[in-house]
Amino acid sequence: MEIGIIGAGQVGGTLTRHLTKQGHTVRVSNSRAPETLADLAAETGATAVWAKDAPVDADLVIVTIPQMNVTDLAPGIVSTAKPGSPVIDTNNYFPKQRDGQIEAIDVGTPDSVWVAEQLGVPVFKVFNGLFWKRLVDSGVPRGTAGRIALPIAGDDAANKKIVSDLVDQIGFDPVDAGTLAESWRQQPYTPVYGTDLDVEGVKKALAEALPERPESFLATG
């Protein structure tokens, strides 16, 4: 597939490495000039581009930037992908540590629902809850005992299959986590977040999640 990645930090860089190894054609960008990604491009064979060019004609787009920076993206940036291409959001809202207050999220909008609203397209929430160093080196072949499972929330069944196949390719078991409206089940402070659970463990953790976040987590807390 042709994959565009907006964001080349710990998660974005790791996914660039995994996906190029799987034979995908990757265009990767950060908030600066493409030249700043020369080392990553040389290592992986990915093409470093400006952020506005990463999604162009892509079969799949990954947005992996701090929540607070989503509104800085050019309007309609992901609309240049091929029509109907899935868009992945890997992010989490951290109001005190990084993002400042986003009132809509503080009052209950799930993190990735808010991202979808800003981007103007549906998204799939995945890769948000596994520590990035585990994402680097914990992928194993399908069928391996104890294989780490990753929840995927989103609304379109056909595109969820595409995203699930991608998760499987890089060494993790995909778990259907329901609709995007249910993506709060995998946000920070839920039982599945930050864990290395297998399929059954992820399903159990998702079922046990509660929508309320600790008051101390919120920007107003």
Instruction: Using DSSP bridges, classify how beta strands 2-6 and 173-176 pair: parallel, antiparallel or unpaired.
Output: unpaired
Region of residue 206 (phi > 0: left; psi between -120 and 50: alpha; otherwise: beta): alpha
Domain definitions of the chain by residue range = 2-208
Tokens of 148: 């780490």
Q: How far is residue 203 CA from its own chain's centroid?
A: 19
DSSP SS3 for 122: coil
Q: Are 177 and 183 in contact (CB under 8 A)?
A: yes
- Cα separation, 186 vs 193, whole angstroms: 6
Closest to 67 (Cα-Cα) out of 188, 216, 189, 213:
188
DSSP SS3 for 153: strand
Q: What is the mean pLDDT of residues 147-166?
A: 98
Q: Provide the residue type at 30 as one letter.
A: N
Confidence at residue 167, expressed as pLDDT on a 0 to 100 scale: 98
Instruction: Using DSSP bridges, classify how beta strands 60-63 and 149-152 pair: parallel, antiparallel or unpaired.
Output: unpaired
Protein fold of 2-208:
Rossmann fold (3.40.50)
Q: What is the mean pLDDT of residues 124-147?
A: 96
User: Tell me: the pLDDT tens digits for 60-73?
Assistant: 999 999 999 999 99
Closest to 9 (Cα-Cα) out of 119, 91, 75:
91
User: Tell me: the pLDDT tens digits for 10-60?
Assistant: 999 999 999 999 999 999 999 999 999 999 999 999 999 999 999 999 999
Q: What torsion, rounded to 10 degrees, do the Cα atoms 102, 107, 109, 111 define? A: 40
